[in-house]
Structure formats: C-alpha cells, structure tokens
Structure 1
Amino acid sequence: MDAILAEKPDQARKLASPFAHKKEKTRITIAPCPEFPRGAIIVWAIGHLCELAEPEKYDPAWKKWRLETLPIIPDRFKHQVIKQKAGHFKLVKEVLNQADTIIIATDPAREGEYIARIIIQMAGASRKKIKRWWCSSLTEQAIKEAFGRLRSDRETKPYFEEALARSYSDWLVGINTSRVYTLLMQQKGIREVFSTGRVQTPLLCLIRRREEEIERFKQEPFWEIVAVFDADGEKYKGKLEERFFDKKQAERLLEQMRDKPGVVGKIETKLKKISPPLLHSLSTLQAKMNRMYKLAPSKVLQLVQSLYEKGYVSYPRTDSQHVTAAEAKAFPKILRLLTPHYNIADDLRDVSRNKRVVDPKKVSDHHAIIPTEQVPTLIKLTSDERKIYDELARSLIAVHYPDHEFLQTTVLTMIDKHAFKTVGNKVVKIGWKAVFQHEQEQGDEGNQPLPPLREGQVVKPEVALKEGMTQPPKPYTEGQLITLMKTAGKHIEDEELSSMKGLGLGTEATRSGIIQTLKDRKYIKVQKNVVSTTEKGKALVSAVADTILGKADLTAKWEQYLHAIGRGEKAAAPFIEKSKELAKHLVADAIKRADGWEVAAAIQEKTQTSGRKGSAQETVGSCPLCGQAVVDRKKFYGCQGYQTGCKFTLPKTLLGKKLSSAVVKKLLSGKESGLLKGFVSKKGKRFDARLRLENGSIAFTFPEGAAKREKA
C-alpha cells in the first residue's frame, strides 16, 4: 500500500480527484489503478504538525527570560509535535508506518518538503521507501501525469536540508536577539516584547530609512517658465527645461521674452515600441494588486493560493516570470478556453520561441503563475478572486499580442536663444495595451497631441511663470514593501553582494508574512495603504541600525549560502555552526550598545497607550518630580513616568480621609489645600489640617493653636 502525504485537506481532495476513491473523515482511500496497483491512502498535515522545541525542552533554566542565560545554543536541535495537533499527528503516523512506500505530495517547494519530511521523521518512518510528487498544477490531468513520473526522494532532499538549515538559523537568531533586546528595553522602562529576526528587522530598518529621508527633506519653492504657442490658430504647450530657485532671476528672463515671437526649431519623430509585460511571479502579482486595488500582499497570497487549490492557476509561490517549452505548448488550448470570457484577437503571436516568455534558464523551481486548462465560471469566484484571476488571464493573453507602438515627436520652440520643449505621442499600434484598456493609466501632462508644425514656422507665444515645490521621497505603500524586499540588494553595502542578482529579504512564500509580522508586532502601521513606523519600531531601529542584524547584508549572505544548500552545492552543518557564532555575537553586541539607544519617544507612546486602555485615565496635574502627567489610576494617583523610574504617587485616602481630585489638582498646581476635617492619627485621634507638597511628599499645616503634628 502507498501512503500519500498531502499538506492540507483541500489539496488531498484534489490529489484524489483523478482516481476512483472513497472519502473518510481523516483519510481518502484510492482504489487499485494503473498508478497505484495496490491502492493508496491519502493523509494530510494541517500546515505544520511539528515544530522546533521550545528552549525549556533543552534546559529548564532557559524558560525564564534572563540575560545571564543568553545566548541559548542547543547542542542538537529537537522537534516536537504541536500540542493542539497531536491527535491528528497520531492518525497520520499510523498510516505512514503501515505503508510500503510514502509519496510526499505536499506543496512542491522548500516549505512543503520541510513539513513532510519532519512529519515522516517524527513518525519514525524515515527508513521507508520515499518518492516525491512534484507538479505546478492541480488540474486532474496534471495530477495524474505527475503521479506517473514520481521523483526520487534524493532529488528533492537538498530542498529539505536548505529549509532545515534556514529554520535552525532563524531560531538561533530569533530566540537570542528577541530575548536580549526585550530584556535590555525593559531595563530602560519599555515593558514589551521586541521580536527580532534576520528578515523582519532589516526590512523595518529600510522602512525607517525612507522615513528619515522624508523627515530630513527640506521643501523649496522653484519656478518654471512655460508657454502656450499659437500656430495658425492651433495651440500647444512648451516648457523651458531649466528650473529656477531664484524667482527674480526667472522674472527677469520672462520679461526679456515678452512680446517676442517663437520659432519652431528642431522637430524629431521616433517610433517607440513597448513590449508586453512579463508573466507574473508572486511578488509582481502582489505589487500590482496592491497598487490597483490596495489588496494587502498577505491577502493576495491567500487568494491566489485558493485559486491554485481549486485547480484554476499554477503554483503561486514562484519567483519566476518565465515558462519552459512544455508549459508553452498548452498556451493555445488555454487561450481557446479563455475566449468566451475575454475579447481575444484572432491573429495572436506564437511565443514558443520568444525568450521574454519561454526561457528555461530563468525558471527556478516553478514557472510563472499562469491560468490552467481548468477555466472557472468567473461569476462563481468571489470578487477578489476574480480580480486575481483576471490579472493572470490578461497577463497570459497580453504576451501573445504585438508590441505597443507609438510615434514620439519632440519639438523645440525657440524664443530668442531659449528652447521650450514639447513632447507629443501618437499611437500607431495599440498592441498588448488593448488587453489592459480597463486600467486607467496616469497621464503625462508633458504628453499632448501636436498640431502640424514645420521647422522655421513662426508661432505666437504666451509666456508665464509656474510655481512648484520640490517633493520629498514618498513613503512606502504595502505593495512596494514586496518590491523593496525583492530588490534589497540595492541597499546592501557589501559591493560584491549588491551586484548579485536575486538577493533579497525573504522568499516569495514568506514576504507577505514578514510584513504581517511587523504589523502584528506593532512595529509598523498601514493607513490608507501607506506604511509608517511606530515609536516602538523606531526604538528598535535605534538599537539595531548600526549592527549586522539591521542590515540587508546578513540576509543576502545567508540567502546566497542557503540557495547553494538547496542546489546540493554546499553542506548545511557549517552554516548552522556559523549561525551559532552569529547568535553569540549579536547578544554580546546588543549588551555593549544598549546605553546609546534612543527610546524616550517609545516610552512616552507606551505610557500614553497604557493610559487609553480600559476606561479613560483622567490627568490631574504634572508630577512635581519629573514633570510628566499624573493620572487617576483608580486606586491611587500616579505619575506616567513610572516606567522610567519615577516613583511619585498620591493616595486616594489619607489617614482615613478621602482626597478628592479637586484637592489633588490643587496640590499638584503648587498650592495648599483648604482646611480638611476628619483625619485620624495612627493613635486613633481625629484632627483637621491643610495639605501641601514638599519635595514630592504630603505635608500638613495645622490650624493655629493646634498642638498635633502628623506626617503622611
């Protein structure tokens, strides 16, 4: 009997669909057939069933977060079954151990390889005969064909070794740096968990770097000289290319030009061609869907994964924008199936030899995301699923269309010796842009239809000043973070690394999750699709900005080595040992640098946020010791500076007498209270007194003639 291990229940049902089968609650049984002469049983994970063990599983002393126990470096790593999934794991284990052959049929990628092989290891079934199902599509035909050409487990094992090395190293860095930064921040008064990692932390630093560029930017006014030219009753606009930061200089030049004729100088017309966009990788799809519809990258991944599991599109977690010749053979049939839903031209190009589309050298584990031969009924998809599918369908259709062609005419119109530039475009062949006519392109105000003009023609100008302001860099949108992570090599300081292609932060499968982690950890916030860092995020950047943890170089070097492991070119063990050394260095470096961290704003934000939790906290005055707000904390009045060490408090009841907020406000304003009656001394005697503050403590003033003296 063969056991087939899928990643999710939906995927398991898809894998069974080409065969006669019986569905049960925890398994699907496939009847004997040519692919499975003895039949097969499909079981499934529910994502990860196993995880790396918690620190206390290695050493009980590692459970409590303490600086003296860092760094945490296990001799050997352990895995454990996720407690909530233990029952399901037991069922999977039973089937795997009964099988003669185990077929790994999790997602055909590194993570899928990792999920399956750890389950097999934990089930004690590693010595079984293992095969690998590998396919980029979940159509019935593709599934059946892939089961007919199973791969050897040795062929895909390097992917597992890469994923294992990645998980060990991420655990070492994440556990140690999260603990050391959290504990050191707590010493400074911020009682929050500071999650850190080799991918999320450099990304946070890049986001903050853009914000700092914006904050440092000083806007300046500038002036341009523009003209409207009248050519025999037809008008067109031109602009002097020089930009003036001295308005008087621009005005002087403008005056020199007034009432002078314009003369058409050089006219140059060129035929321009724009090729169709490449097919989509996951990153390019996420970036465009965010730009067009403001869909979060994590949402796009969820939607395209859903379409994949339904069999409508190919495997989504790919960094390729090309296909191999085998996929290209299916294009004509897919286009025919799409024709009822899209207005597709009859005279499409043959792209089978077009390297912008078909290039096996640019296909990594999986080809670009394309529609499959299983075309859905579009109205049955959700609104967001339709948006994703529509983009992928149009992307495939567009590569079969000719280039977009237009004539670009550049005219230089002279006033004296000053050249005013005008650019006009005229579409010659709409080409592939016909497929995307539903998209509204941002117009270029420098582009305009031009009247017939000839060199030497005299035209009448109307010149004017146009004021503008220099603009700072724009903050990132959530979709731009995906592109930023993919192109992080531009921000690498090591010249050798920055010249390497494909280096970035994270992988196609993990980037949207990393962005979500930054949001969940309250390091960034996204409002109207614009990303900004919180004070907590700024505090962490202050701590890590000049360290290796805060730079893209670390991840670039790791990705370079990890991919080599995945290709079978390098061993994982040396990489893991280097990661242990790095963890030790990062802990020591954080402790050494902690005194220079700038965290005051984060502390203030935290105390203000704390003050907003639950019922609103009334501010009753300023602290006489540190100047921060004193608020009503239900049982007492306390300074919001307590996290930075201020101990100032005032009781709500003093020697049996309740103190109203009005009395407390008067004391905090530096004044003495009115005469308060009904205090009870420690010896049980009643007395009256006025209150005042002396050096942050309550003192009594007694009515004249009273001999009693009490201290609060």
Structure 2
Amino acid sequence: MRVFIAEKPSLAEAICIGLNGNPKTDKKAGYYQTGSDIVTWCYGHMLKLFDPEDYDPKYKKWTLDDLPIKATYPPKMKVIKKTQTQFNVIKKLIKDADSIVHAGDPDEEGNLLIDEILTHVNNTKSVSRVLISDLNEQPVKDALNALRPNSEFKYLTQSALARSIGDQLFGYNLTRAYTLKAREKGFENVLNVGRVQSALYGLINQRTLANLNHSESFYYLLNGQFSIAGHTLHARLMPNSDTSELDEKKRLISELDAALIKELCDGKPSHLHTIESKKESKAAPLPFNLSTLQQTCAKKWGYTATETLDIVQKLYETHKLLTYPRSDCRYLSDTHLQKSEDIIEAITQTEPSLLSLLSDADLNTTHSAFNNGNITAHHAIIPTEKNGNTCTLSEKESNVYRLVATSFIALFYPPSSRDKVKATIHCGQQIFVATQTTLDKQGWEVLYKGEYNDKANENSLDLASLQEGSEGTCDLVTIDKKKTKPLKYFTESTLLAAMSSAAKYVSDPQLKKALEEKDKGNKSEHGSIGTEATRASHLTKIQSNTHLVSVVAEKGYKEKVYKTTTAGQEFCALLPDEIITPDTSALWANYQASIKKGELDTKTFVGYIDAYLETQIQFVKDNGVAITAAERIICPTCQKGSITKRKGKNGVFHACNRYPDCKTAFQDNKGKPDLNPTLKKKAGPTNAEKFGAVSDTEFCKQCSKPLARKPAKKKDTFWWGCTGFPSCNVRFFDKDGKPDRDKGEL
C-alpha cells in the first residue's frame, strides 16, 4: 500500500483525481482510497515545537534567573490539539503503509510540514517526493509520474526547521527579558519581540519619528512660458546640481537660486532642442497573490489584511469559487489558459453582472501571466470552474470575488496604449521639459472605471507637430514655492507592500543581497519578511498591542495609519538596530542559504542564535529597560512591589508584581484596582450571605471576587469559598482563620 500525505485537503483531492480516482466515491474517514493507493491530508502544520514549559515546568513562570532559555536540539514536537483526530488517521496509515509519498507544497515550509510528521512517528518506510504547484489534472498526473527520493530535499527541511527554532528562541527569550525588566519600572504590558514583528515596529516607528521631528522647509518649482514657432508652450525647469542647490529628490531648495534663474531666463532667447516621441503599451496587471489582494482591498474598501484573508478563505473553502488563497505567486500555468473559457463561463454564472465585460475579451490572447516557469509553490489567485449561481455571498465576498474575476478577465483584453512626447527647451544654460500623454487605446483599463485616468496635459497643442531647432523666447518664469512633507505614515496596504520588499530597508549591501537572494525565482517577492500565511496575523498582533502602536484615522489618508506610542518609541530605542530592521531576517537568510547547500547544519545555526541571545539577555539584565510606566501603586500588603494589571481566565484583575512572594490581588474597577471593595446587597439572600462571613482582605485569584469563610460539617472547622459561586467554584481549607493557599484549591 502506498500512502500519499498531502499538505491540505484540496491537494489530496487533486492527487486522488490524478490517480484516476473519484473523490466523491473514494472518500473515507480522513483519506481517499484509489486501488492500492491511499491519499490522506494535513491541515497545514499538524505539529508544533515544544514550548519551554513542556521541557521543564519551571519555565511556565517568567523569571530573569531562568534566562536565557537554551535550545533543545533536536527539538521535540507536539500535536496541535485541533488536528489530533486527523493526525491519528495519518499516523495509522503510515504504520500500515509499504511506502510513503511526501506531498507537501514544493517549498521549504511544505518540506518541513510532512517531514516533521514522519520524524515524530519514527517512520522507517521509504519516502518519495511529489512536487505539485498546479492542481489541474494533467499537471498533477505529470508530477505523479516524476517522483523523486525525498532525501534530495532534506536540506530544505533543515532550513525551515532552523528558522522555526530560531523564531521561537527569539520570542521566548527577548519577550520575557524586556517584559520582566520593564515590570521592575511598573510597566504592566508585555513587550513582544519577534524577528518579523519587531522589524515592523521599527518601520512604523521610523515613519512616526519622521513626522514628529519634521522641520518645515521649502523647495521651488520653476515653470516657464515660451513663445516658439508661433505657439505658446509651458515647460518645467530641470534643475542642475552643478549650478544649483538641490535636495535628495533633486528639487531646487535655494530661493536665491530660483530668483537668479528667473532673472536669467525672463525675456531671453530660447530654442526647442529635442522632440522625443514614443508609443507606450501596457498589458493588464498580473493576477493577484494574497499580498496584492490584501493591499487592493485595503485601499478600495478599508478591509484589514486579516479580514481579506478570512473572506478569500471562505470563497475558497466554503463556496469553492476561488483557488488557494495563501499564495505568493502572481503567475498561472498553460493549463489555466486552456481552461480559460470554462473559468470565464463560471464567472458569468456566478456574477452575471460581469457578462458585459466580455465584449472586448479575446480568449486567443496570451498574456505573460501564463508562464509555467514562473510558478512557485502555488499559482495566482483566480476563480475556479465552479458555477456559483446557487451560492449566497455576503457583500464583502461579492466584492472580493468580482475583484479577482475582473483581474482574470482583464488578461484577455488588449493592452492599453498611449502616445508620449517629451520636448526639451534650452534657455541659456537652463533646461526646461514639457511632456504630453495622449491615450490611443484604453484596452483593459475600461474594466476599471476610470481608475487609470491620465492627468490633463498642460499644453493643448500636439508637441509632436513641432520642429526641433525652432527658435523662440522665454516669456516668463514663475516660481511655485512648496513645503516639504515627511514620509507618509504606514497603512495596512503599505505595510503589506513593505513586507514583500523588505530588502530595500536593509542598509548593508551584503545583507540586502542575501535577503533578495532568498526570493530568487519568485518574481512577486523582492527580499521579503513573513509569508503570505503569516503577514495578516503579524498585523493583527501589532494592532492588538495598543500600548506600543495606535491605528487611527488621519486627515489626508484613505486608510487608517499606524503610529508608535510614546512607549512604542521608547521600546524601539531600546532594541538593537538589527532587531528593529529586517537585518536579522537578512542575516538568517544568509545562514539558511548555507543550510540549503549542505554547508551549514541546523544545530550549528541554532548555536549561533543561542550565543546571540545570551549576549542580548545579559545586556538587558545589566542595563535594564528605560521605559515610562503609568503611575505606580505601591502594594499595600508587602510595601515593596507594585500593583499591576493582569488578565486571568475570568477577566482582568490587579495583583502585586512580586507574586508568588506576595499574593495580594484586587478586583478591577474601570481599569483600575478596587482598593476599597464594597459589596452590593440584593433582595433575598446573596451567595456571600449563603457562604457566611465575607472577607474584605481575601480575594479569589481566578475571578477577583471576595472569599467567604463558612462552617464545615465537623464542629469548629471551616472552609473558604468564592462568593462568585456557582460560576466560580474555587474553594480552600481553613488555616488559622485564613484560606490555606499553600495546600492549593480543593
């Protein structure tokens, strides 16, 4: 028996069809059976790394003395609870198999995802590898006929494992170190540190500070009006850095220089030096990957990255109307081209309003998007061949479906074309340029209702009709004084774009190159951080850390903007530069490239991370954390600690930061500790009255309600119970008139 283990259910179904099976009749409990072949599936990662407390329970409590937490190699894995049932199916099938076929996605993470299962169950059966990036039937069959030994891909697995271990070590060690040292200052919140997340904080902070520290300055645009060959022309000065003071954007910044140029040109002879004409043709944009779809939805409708992912995931899983969404690729296969007629038929059945868009579509047109060689682990997001006329879509689902469908239809429209003319006018030593754009054919742009309109031309005459060398006069130069503006704040869409091309924020040339090399072969990513599967969750995490970042509406922006708070700015100032930039990702990319070549082993890489973290942890221990905390409330019991906000399973409460040495706790009252709690009496006996004497000093740590002392059945003995009963069942033995917390809860 041969067992295929696919990364996800849709891939398993495609393999079943590729094996000439029928998914409807061959489906069993957690697998398909086609002859002697079994095809089972994962739901992404079925396992995760042990947490530190899984190795040693002491790590459940955060203490500086236990830091740094060193790596355990090889690491141990545990089954993710929600996948346990399917994991058991896979485990049994592996045990019964004669051979295994690894059908993870053809990338590093796909290799790790299946290999970690095989390692976890101590598989000894032979393992082959199938590489499938296109779920259409013929490409799947071709892949099934080209199996390779799984051992050929072991270094890709090791590279992915190295990153996974490194990210866990980074997060656990640095988050605990900075948070614990900040608590000594009375800072209550967690200070999360992560390779990708901290780089995003750094990018957001850089823009925030640029706006806060921006000093007003000016630049000058000079516009000339010319009389040449009986025509009036308007052209803009191209400043010369050899004779004028320019900024980094090559803008004139000296008012004196501007005035001098005006004086030198007003009323002076001029001539038309050159005329350059060209036709510019532009094909429809490539279809969406997840990041570009998220960016577009954020700009058009203000959807968050997570919201867009949820919508497209439902269109994929529930409605079966879109292809796999977590794709980083914007290209399609030749098979998609062959099936384009069926896809477009499904589109018009699902969204009849799009039928009118097909009038100028030519299915014989071949767009550059159809290129087998540019497909990575997945292909672009496009509509499926399913007729969705019976599907009930929400407004947001319809919006996203129409957007994706329109982008697919646009691939079969002719390119847009424009005639572009550039006229260069010389006046003494100064050069002025006039440009003109004339739409020739709108092509695919008609599908987007004016989103691609050109700006009005400054000159009404056809510049191409003029003759080079024509003489004339500069009638007048006007000076337009403009204020400089700081870099724009980041928004949801621009942060997603920044993650896709993070290498441009790396200053070291070698590290920049290493990060760019990581995405070699993927024309949609350019030195990226995070993955299509994780970027939305990174942004959601940042949004939830309101003590570090605020996401607010800002005048002049269509989307909400990200700004670091005062604490966020202080936190970024504390972290090393390599953590608040993509430099760490770039450095790791360099190491991972060596692992993939077999030149560096994962254990050595993990050793590098351990050594780095040991240095960083010691620095934090020695130097502390300079961060501003809210006004400190001294613990009234121990007089040493401070009362800080905590979140328990029953909600927010406030407790001494010296716990467990001091167990003082208070209920929450509108975000602050209720230092003088009063009980509200109700008509009839209350739970507290039923219990007996209610304490004004002893509180339940689970729900923060007062504890009450009640007589037990045995004479002169007592027990303690929570007044939150029956919703809270916490109880204690009595010891000397106090709850016996040392014995623990009953």
Q: What is the TM-score of this pair, normalised by structure 2?
A: 0.67
Distance 1:444 1:477, change over 3 A: farther
Secondary structure in 1 matching 2:436: strand
- Out of 573, 578, 589, which is 2:619 matched to? 589
* Counterpart for residue 608 of structure 2: 578
* Counterpart for residue 63 of structure 1: 60
Shift of 1:156: 4.0
* Counterpart for residue 461 of structure 2: 450
8 Å CA contact 1:371, 1:393 repeated in 2: yes
Shift of 1:412: 5.6
* Counterpart for residue 168 of structure 2: 171
* Counterpart for residue 273 of structure 1: 280
* Counterpart for residue 195 of structure 2: 198
Shift of 1:174: 1.4
Gaps of 5+ in 2: 240-250, 349-354, 520-526, 553-558, 634-641, 654-670, 678-746
Shift of 1:79: 1.5
Query: Aligned partners of 1:370 and 1:97: how far apart in 2?
Result: 36
- Out of 80, 83, 98, which is 1:82 matched to? 80
Give per-residue Cα distances to partners, 1:357-406, cap 9 Å, x unaligned: 6483x55444x415477365489465555555555555566566665443
Query: Aligned partners of 1:75 and 1:168: how far apart in 2?
Result: 9
Give per-residue Cα distances to partners, 1:608-648, cap 9 Å, x unaligned: x989x999xxxxxxxxxxxxxxx9965459xxxxxxxxxxx
8 Å CA contact 1:137, 1:314 repeated in 2: no
Shift of 1:51: 1.9
8 Å CA contact 1:288, 1:479 repeated in 2: yes
Shift of 1:483: 2.4
Bigger mean CA deviation after superposition, 395-404 or 66-75: 395-404
Distance 1:422 1:24, change over 3 A: closer
Query: Aligned partners of 2:313 and 2:570: how far apart in 1?
Result: 36
Does residue 489 of the first structure (1) align with residue 533 of the second (2)? Answer: no
Secondary structure in 1 matching 2:78: strand
* Counterpart for residue 115 of structure 2: 117
Secondary structure in 2 matching 1:425: strand
8 Å CA contact 1:348, 1:401 repeated in 2: no
Query: Aligned partners of 1:190 and 1:396: how far apart in 2?
Result: 51
Identity %, equivalent residues: 25
Distance 1:155 1:275, change over 3 A: farther
Bigger mean CA deviation after superposition, 17-26 or 125-134: 17-26
Query: Aligned partners of 1:549 and 1:115: how far apart in 2?
Result: 27
Query: Aligned partners of 1:68 and 1:614: how far apart in 2?
Result: 27
8 Å CA contact 1:424, 1:449 repeated in 2: no
* Counterpart for residue 94 of structure 1: 92
Secondary structure in 2 matching 1:164: helix
Aligned length: 599
Bigger mean CA deviation after superposition, 573-582 or 13-22: 13-22
Shift of 1:27: 2.3
* Counterpart for residue 19 of structure 1: 22
Query: Aligned partners of 2:366 and 2:597: how far apart in 1?
Result: 33
Distance 1:151 1:256, change over 3 A: closer
- Out of 442, 463, 471, which is 2:485 matched to? 471
Residue type of the alignment partner of 2:503: G
Residue type of the alignment partner of 2:215: K
- Out of 545, 568, 580, which is 1:521 matched to? 545
**Counterpart mapping for 1:13-52 below 5 A:** 19=22, 21-22=24-25, 26-30=29-33, 36-38=34-36, 40=38, 42=40, 44-52=41-49
Secondary structure in 2 matching 1:549: coil
Query: Aligned partners of 2:64 and 2:424: how far apart in 1?
Result: 70
8 Å CA contact 1:313, 1:371 repeated in 2: yes
Does residue 128 of the first structure (1) align with residue 128 of the second (2)? Answer: no
* Counterpart for residue 452 of structure 2: 441
Shift of 1:98: 3.0
Does residue 297 of the first structure (1) align with residue 327 of the second (2)? Answer: no
**Counterpart mapping for 1:31-430 below 5 A:** 36-38=34-36, 40=38, 42=40, 44-76=41-73, 77-83=75-81, 85-122=83-120, 124=121, 126-139=123-136, 143=140, 146-147=143-144, 149-222=146-219, 224=221, 226=223, 237-240=234-237, 265-266=272-273, 268-276=275-283, 277-278=285-286, 280-305=288-313, 316-321=325-330, 327-328=333-334, 330-334=336-340, 337-338=343-344, 341=355, 342-343=357-358, 344-346=360-362, 349-350=365-366, 358=371, 360=373, 363-366=375-378, 368-369=379-380, 371=382, 374=385, 376-377=387-388, 380=391, 383-385=395-397, 388=400, 404-411=416-423, 421-430=433-442
Distance 1:507 1:86, change over 3 A: closer
Query: Aligned partners of 1:439 and 1:130: how far apart in 2?
Result: 54
8 Å CA contact 1:335, 1:397 repeated in 2: no
Secondary structure in 2 matching 1:192: coil
8 Å CA contact 1:425, 1:448 repeated in 2: no
8 Å CA contact 1:136, 1:315 repeated in 2: no
Query: Aligned partners of 1:399 and 1:567: how far apart in 2?
Result: 38
Give per-residue Cα distances to partners, 1:595-620, cap 9 Å, x unaligned: 5x3x22x647999x989x999xxxxx
Secondary structure in 1 matching 2:48: strand
8 Å CA contact 1:535, 1:605 repeated in 2: no
Residue type of the alignment partner of 2:529: L
* Counterpart for residue 709 of structure 1: none
Please provide the CA RMSD for this pair. Answer: 4.5
8 Å CA contact 2:437, 2:457 repeated in 1: no
Distance 1:584 1:289, change over 3 A: same
Secondary structure in 2 matching 1:269: strand
- Out of 494, 502, 525, which is 1:480 matched to? 494
Q: Which has the larger radius of gyration?
A: 1
Q: What is the TM-score of this pair, normalised by structure 1?
A: 0.70
8 Å CA contact 2:3, 2:37 repeated in 1: no
Residue type of the alignment partner of 1:580: D
* Counterpart for residue 558 of structure 1: 588
Give per-residue Cα distances to partners, 1:560-586, cap 9 Å, x unaligned: 322443465643222122222222222
Distance 1:387 1:158, change over 3 A: farther
Residue type of the alignment partner of 2:595: I
Distance 1:438 1:633, change over 3 A: same
Shift of 1:427: 2.7
Give per-residue Cα distances to partners, 1:64-100, cap 9 Å, x unaligned: 2111111111443221233455455444433432333
8 Å CA contact 2:328, 2:380 repeated in 1: no
Secondary structure in 1 matching 2:562: strand
Secondary structure in 2 matching 1:526: strand
